[in-house]
Structure formats: C-alpha cells, structure tokens
Amino acid sequence: MVKVTVWNENRHEKKNPVVAGIYPNGIHGAISAFLEKGGFDVKTATLDEPEHGLTDEVLANTDVLVWWGHIAHDEVSDETVNKVVSRVLDGMGLIVLHSGHFSKVFKKLMGTSCDLKWREADDRERLWVVDPSHPIVAGLNQYIELEKEEMYGEHFDVPAPDELIFLSWFEGGEVFRSGCTYRRGNGKVFYFRPGHETYPTYHNEEIQKVITNAVKWAAPVDHARPVYGNAKPLEEISKK
C-alpha cells in the first residue's frame, strides 16, 4: 500500500473563516480524506508541528509527499527543505499543488524562479487534457471546468516539463501549463495548478481523480540505486 503524507501550511484555515468554512479539517484534511478512499495509507503533516511534521522517520516512511503552501514558504526551515529534496532524489514522489510553485522545495528542484502571473478575480478555468495517453488523466473527460479559480498565467518560469498533461484556459485571457511532470534523480514530481484556498477546488471529484492518479504515478520504483564516484573499469583499458 502506497504511503502518502499530505503536507499543508495550514495557516489560511486558522485565519480566514471563508477558508475554514470550505475546509473545516484543513486543506490537508480534505486531501487526505479522498486519498484514503483511493486506497492509500495516508498521514498528514503541517508547518507548525515540530520539524514541520517532516521528521526523518516520517520522510523515510513516505512514498509520495503532497505539498500545499502559500503565505509561509519562508518559514519552512532550510534543513527540512534539504531533507525533502534528498528524499525526492532518492525516489520519493512529490505532488506540488497550486501556490506550492513558490515553495522552497519546488524552486530548489526546478532551478528557476517559478514565477508566474496571478489574479484573484473569480476567473472560470478550463483544464484541457493534452496528453491523453498519460495515467494521470485516467477517468477524465476532455477537460475539467472550474467555475471560479485564481488565475495563473504564462510565462511560468519553470524548466520545460518532461511531460505536459494539462493546459488551462482562463476567462480573463491567459493560458497556463497546469499539469507538468518532472523526473529528478530517482523521484517523480507532478505540479498541478488548481487549488486556491478560497474555492472548494479539492472537493471537485475530477480534481480528486487527478491527484489520486498522480500519487499512483509518482510512487517509487523498486530498483538498485545508481552508484557514484570513482569506478573501476569493466573492460581492459589499452596502454597508450
């Protein structure tokens, strides 16, 4: 059974009654609830727990980490960031949601600014499937429509994704690469755009399907890890 840890900043939920109303158990609570139904072994972790809830033991027992953060990216300690990045390179899957584009973890794995355009104006969003062969789109129709969402617009300053799965259309005139996969070391990373805290996006069944599919896709592969450093020759080297 795939072991998932859902990490959430969990700050908006405490400060903003609108957010608390939509997510009474926190964004992490909503996400872990549907992932449990999806057949995963799910735990949660939040910013204000000791070590942000991401101790060595928790990370060692996490196959796939889901990440939601927004207003407190800077409060995540560099030590934790380095541990998470190491675990990804070692094989742990990582699902970065929405404003997590600006998390230290994602920026470190991308090597770019991860900047973008944004607007909170109740734009309608339509996420079009552009890779119908990908397991992350299992069970979906041609597009997912969200009546209201925050807009994220191009240019999205990330490396060209290894696989581009969703493209978003926004009512106000912008587009966005909303579903992007990246391989980093032994690990797989999926960035998925939707999920502003003031909208009930994670209650949407199609959004839940995507995240559930992504967890399956990102689960680690069991194989021998590469060996690095000084290496003896496997064949005889000629005298020259």
- Residue numbers 27-86 binding a copy of itself by CB under 8 A: 85
Looking at the Cβ atoms of 14 and 138, the one nearer to a copy of itself is 138
**Residue 205 sits in the site that holds a copy of itself (CB under 8 A):** no
**Residue 155 sits in the site that holds a copy of itself (CB under 8 A):** yes
Site for a copy of itself in 116-135 (CB under 8 A): 116-119, 121-124, 126, 128-135
CA dist 174 → 37, 156, 196 (Å): 34, 11, 17
Output b/e per residue, 100-120; b: 16+ Cβ within 10 A: bbbbbbbbbbbeeebebeeee
**Residue 216 sits in the site that holds a copy of itself (CB under 8 A):** no
**Residue 229 sits in the site that holds a copy of itself (CB under 8 A):** yes
**Residue 240 sits in the site that holds a copy of itself (CB under 8 A):** yes
**Residue 2 sits in the site that holds a copy of itself (CB under 8 A):** no
Query: What DSSP element (H or E) covers 145?
Result: strand 143-153
For the bound state, the minimum distance from the C-beta of residue 64 to a copy of itself, rounded and expressed in Å, comes to: 13
Q: Which two tokens stand for residue 90?
A: 């070692």
Contact 76, 103 (CB under 8 A): yes
**Residue 154 sits in the site that holds a copy of itself (CB under 8 A):** yes
**Residue 235 sits in the site that holds a copy of itself (CB under 8 A):** yes
- Strand, helix or coil for residue 95: strand
For the bound state, the minimum distance from the C-beta of residue 201 to a copy of itself, rounded and expressed in Å, comes to: 15
73: Cα within 13 Å, side-chain hemisphere: 16
CA dist 216 → 63, 100, 126, 189 (Å): 10, 20, 24, 12
From residue 6 to residue 25, what is the string marking binding to a copy of itself with x (rule CB under 8 A)? --------------------
For the bound state, the minimum distance from the C-beta of residue 128 to a copy of itself, rounded and expressed in Å, comes to: 5
Looking at the Cβ atoms of 77 and 142, the one nearer to a copy of itself is 142
Give ∠ CA 186-5-151 in degrees, rounded to 5: 90
